[in-house]
Amino acid sequence: MAEPILQVAAIMLSNALLYNAPLNTALPADTVPWGGSWGGAWARVGFTSAPLKMGYTYTSAEASIEESLAMVNRGKKDEGASFETVMAELNLNLLPLAWGGVTVETPQSTGVAAVETWTIGGSNVLTKSIWGFEGQWVKDDGSIFPVRFFIWRGTPTAGGELNWTKEKYVEGIPLKIGALADMNRTFGQRLMQARRVTSVAG
């Protein structure tokens, strides 16, 4: 058996940049450096006040036979993926991404103040979009490359609360995005994808 390839540089210390775009938006080119603009319809979601957590879960079904005390086969019967963080900015344009609803911006004009108005209630529709986040890893020579994760189709999966107190700043808007299967993609690749750039283009 071949020895595994060990990469100390792949032990990462990195924050994450969170992005969102309409469904079917093309992924950023692998030539886009860490921290660079993803282009197209991709938009940075904003600053975060908590680590970004990415999760993948599944439950399994097991097969047993009378002739064995141990299970003889196991397979997945459902799976899920999620991104979770807290958005630091109390920007009402971010609330529909986290909780649903609609935000309308009224521009400033004569006798009219500029206002953001967020409204929610009564609709069971959750907007589906593509989500991605980016971290960095640093090679031994000091060069920096991106690591990117994508959820093809994601929606908010939980509400949250804003805590107002004189003791500290408002912590921010809780954001949890759950993945849905993209049935237009290849079987076995319908939930999410990760890409780690390992060198510059030749």
Give per-residue pLDDT as tens, 175-196.
999 999 999 999 999 999 999 9
Which tokens go with 42? 């991709």
How much is the pLDDT for 200? Answer: 85
| 40 DSSP assignment | T
Q: Show the low-confidence residues of the chain (pLDDT under 70).
A: none
* CA 69 to each of CA 9, 63, 72, 74, 127: distance values in angstroms, whole numbers, following the listed order: 44, 11, 9, 14, 47
Residue 70: φ, ψ to 5°: -95, 155
Instruction: Output the furthest CA–CA distance in the chain (Å, rounded).
Output: 83
How much is the pLDDT for 7? Answer: 79
How much is the pLDDT for 172? Answer: 87
Residues contacting residue 87 through CB under 8 Å, at least 6 positions apart = 45, 46, 47, 48, 49, 94, 98, 172, 173, 174, 175
Picking from 87, 98, 83, 88, the residue whose alpha carbon sits closest to that of residue 150 is 83
Residue 97: φ, ψ to 5°: -65, -35
Picking from 59, 76, 60, 84, the residue whose alpha carbon sits closest to that of residue 151 is 84
Q: Is the pTM of this model over 0.75?
A: yes
**Whole-angstrom Cα distance, residue 11 to residue 117?**
44
How much is the pLDDT for 98? Answer: 92
How much is the pLDDT for 1? Answer: 72
How much is the pLDDT for 91? Answer: 87
How much is the pLDDT for 15? Answer: 85
How much is the pLDDT for 195? Answer: 94
| 165 DSSP assignment | B
Identify whether the C-beta of residue 89 lies closer than 8 Å to the C-beta of residue 167.
no
How much is the pLDDT for 14? Answer: 86
**Whole-angstrom Cα distance, residue 168 to residue 186?**
48
**Could you read off the pLDDT of 134-152 as tens digits, one per residue?**
999 998 888 999 999 999 9
